[in-house]
Amino acid sequence: MTKYLLIGLLIFAVVFTIIGRIRYNSKSTQERLKTKEKEKDEWFKRLSGRTEGRIIEHHWEDHGISTGPHKNSEEDMDVTDTVFMVTYEFEVNGQTYTGNGAGSPSFGERESQMICYDPSDPEDNCTMYFYKSESIKRSNIKKPIL
């Protein structure tokens, strides 16, 4: 009888530990998502500067993308997407900066495109194409219920 009681307690302890771990991971995932969203919001607010940038190079590039946690899993799903990338340079207050990022394939024929940058730190910049596409994605994202 004592043997069965100990086995029952052991099974209960294992199940209780697993359930607690799942709940902990779920909360930490939600907190991580909330922190990422807040960081992105701050980043978007800082990129208020606009200037025309000169396209130096363009090419297609494979990118790994994390699509975030899915409804039936705590883990992020990773996929590969091919993205049109541009390398550009732009000038702010007489200083030349360079950057690279996602662009529209139609930029392959262009020599310039609009660049968004942080006026207090122009090294922090992106293409207007990336800025707009991220803004659209962000407006369609359903924020996690915490």
Residue-wise pLDDT for 119-140, tens only, equals 999 999 999 988 888 887 767 6
Give the number of other Cβ atoms within 10 Å of residue 25's Cβ. Answer: 13
29 or 78: which carries more pLDDT confidence? 29
Highest mean pLDDT among 2-6, 87-91, 127-131: 87-91
| Average pLDDT along the chain | 80
Euclidean distance between CA atoms 127 and 52, whole angstroms: 10
Host H or E run for residue 98? strand 95-102
**pLDDT per residue as tens digits for the range 13-60:** 788 777 777 666 666 777 888 888 888 888 888 999 999 999 999 888
Distance set, CA 111 to CA 42, 56, 106, 129 (Å): 30, 8, 11, 15
* pTM exceeds 0.75 for this model: no
Q: What percent of the chain has pLDDT over 90?
A: 27
What local confidence, expressed as pLDDT, does residue 33 receive?
A: 81
CB 103 within 8 A of CB 86: yes
Q: Which of 4-18, 30-44, 84-98 has the lowest mean pLDDT?
A: 4-18
pLDDT band at 144 (very low <50, low <70, confident <90, very high): very low
Tell me, what's the pLDDT at 52? Answer: 95
- What CA–CA distance (Å, rounded) separates 82 from 93? 35
